[in-house]
Structure 1
């Protein structure tokens, strides 16, 4: 009895520290986990975390093994916890659960409160609540500092493949708002985003057009981005979104600050 009690007391701190082997199979849970996890706790992240076009933490991801979200990959890593997104492959998640692996699914962040909530949840799951609180506190301090910076004002369009444009109801809209910009998609009846005809974009005459980094090769979906009319609209007033925009992490503040700085540089050059 005494031996069992002693062993239980020894094991208690380890259990309180959270799972020892954590695997993330989604780009956004990758980054939340990298912000919060303790040394050696995160044993693999998704391969997308190393892609600078979509990831804000490529440097941190370079130090970790990557996976491709396949059940076979994950099983070999012997995780105590698997982190996934609502967009992760349902068949993979079902298989992992049938094999009795703990899986936690995160919904995508749509606003600043979602970022705080998911950071707090990640801290609780990993046994790193103090670290999560520190990240949130720094996030709020940086947000307050950003609010004190003068914004450029004006109207912006987020425009991508197939003429898709994001409105103000979502993470991209939050970034525009933090930068002091209004989304023309919302003006045109697309607060949640949707297809925006090029003609409507040209007539709206935004002060800034934000596009995404292009991948090598070509696709018909991206042909609209090479249209001469779009090039005329974006001349001298274009920006690239990049990895800071993709996931709901504190890096969205960096995206907003960069938009403000780009606007200042354009003003100085004019």
Structure 2
């Protein structure tokens, strides 16, 4: 049961589904399948094996419960997934699963797939919010109200200006989203220390093909993990968006005080 209000009340079902356990597993499997296909294309493994791995790389075959059971035995979440996928593959195809990769190759690349899906919703929500704010700005461009500095009355302003300011701030968030996507939506197949030594003589080509299969850009250079400044930038952007929303909400709360009573929250039947 969710204990955080954003998880339990305000979260979107569609966005929650992106990060739930089954979809996380499916994205890991997607990366393993893409890696197998890349190996086959460069002649590293039989095409028949890559086809079998791709066919079985689905939560229809690899169940969350089975992965958990294996993890309880070996205490390694990613290798539990690898073993669960391998045991579903017919013949000797299973031995080619995860060939040359390190855990972070699969996990960090699959996270990029999840973030890409989430960014679609984030962008759509920001566009919808901007549209609402612009509509209000036009409707209230002549709605005069008290201007305030340091919470004290100042010269008059309009509600149209307030909404226009919010709308331009949201547009900057959209600009940031477009600008940093290429830095964040990347994947890697670089092995345990980033040298690609375990991926064979066609390692660079294998990485390129894997990422093309997934619709991602490969990292330029890396070590074991995709460098975390990328993820930190994304989290900082979410914090900026949160602060914009907080600013709007605080303004509404202050202006609906009994002694001010300029605006009010939308009322729904049954709320006290």
TM-score class, shorter-chain normalisation, is under 0.3
> Of the two, which has the highest radius of gyration?
2
Per the normalisation by structure 1, the TM-score is 0.23
Please state which structure has a larger fraction of its residues in strand: 1
